[in-house]
Amino acid sequence: MTDPAARKEAEDWWQTALIRMEPNQIDIRGRPIQDLIGTVSFVQMIWLCLRGDLPSADQAHLLEAALTAAVDHGPQAPSIAAARMAATCGVGLNNAMATGLNMLGDVHGGAGEQAVTLYRMALSFVDEGDAPDVAVARAVTAWTAEHGKYIPGFGHRFHTRDPRAPRLMDLVRTAQESGVVPGRARAVALQIEDHLSQAKGRPIPMNIDGATAVIYAELGFDAPLARGLFCLSRSVGILAHAWEQTQQGGRNKGPLPRGYLWTYLPADDQKPG
């Protein structure tokens, strides 16, 4: 018979409040899986797994809007391009998806997490007693001092006005008016948008990352989860592109079409490092 102490040590090796699984029984957050199947949506299941309870219908609607908005942004997005290239190399869909998802880092995919952090920094200054405009200016200054001039969640290299952001912000406004969310993150994000536009002397509108960050912040998600949720959202687009490329065929498609080569830099022209 197994030593009780050894058995206890083995059973405590992994500890989770997420799932209970025994023969013929699976509970997610204390709820039998058979009671969840067909009664909760995928978005509600995401919330349940991450938060431990079920969202209200309005909370789920807002989360679903954020997840829907960020599904795809075309093959010029590195994660999508990488997945499509991987699909031409003879790997399966899971490998192609992993290739794309593994490219979602601080620069491509991390802006939502960073924006939530920025919003909460500004709100912490408000809580300290700063007026909103002072808090925003203070937060932007602190952010640029540590991270450089790029402000996550604002401006876009392709869109003069990201078509996804206004729609999401309208949904947040409606949710605020209905008492679903407090609206503090929305207010500070709009204040940052005004601050940046005034500083630059031209519009610097909020983008998809800034708008989804408002939603994740309003719904109470920790900043790192904003990146995880973005990965969940973008995985749908990555899957669809990888599958489309598989159907189109092609072998070993790289970043340049056949007949084009990269620019070669002679040794004298190479930059140090």
242/72 Cα distance (integer angstroms): 12
Predicted local distance difference test score (pLDDT) of residue 56? 97
Predicted local distance difference test score (pLDDT) of residue 269? 65
70/230 Cα distance (integer angstroms): 7
Is position 67 within any domain? no
Predicted local distance difference test score (pLDDT) of residue 160? 73
Cβ contact 118:143 at 8 Å: yes
DSSP string, 192-211: HHHHHHHHHTS---B-HHHH
CATH code of the domain containing 153: 1.10.230.10
- DSSP designation for 128: T
Instruction: Note whether 119 and 219 are same-domain residues.
Output: yes
Is position 95 within any domain? no
Tens of pLDDT along 220-244?
999 999 999 999 999 999 999 999 9
Predicted local distance difference test score (pLDDT) of residue 77? 92
Predicted local distance difference test score (pLDDT) of residue 257? 87
Is position 245 within any domain? no
**Beta-bridge mates of residue 26:** 21
Is position 12 within any domain? no
230/68 Cα distance (integer angstroms): 10
Is position 65 within any domain? no
Percent of the chain with pLDDT over 70: 97
Residues of the chain with pLDDT under 70: 1, 269-273
Pairing mode, strands 19-22 and 25-28: antiparallel
Residue 25 main-chain phi, psi, to 5 deg: -145, 130
Q: Print the domain residue range for 41.
A: 17-54
Tens of pLDDT along 115-154?
999 999 999 999 999 999 999 999 999 999 999 999 999 9
Predicted local distance difference test score (pLDDT) of residue 255? 87
12/9 Cα distance (integer angstroms): 5
Q: How many domains does the chain have?
A: 2
What residues contact 159, with CB distance under 8 A and at least 6 apart? 207
Predicted local distance difference test score (pLDDT) of residue 50? 98
Cβ contact 71:232 at 8 Å: no
Is position 39 within any domain? yes
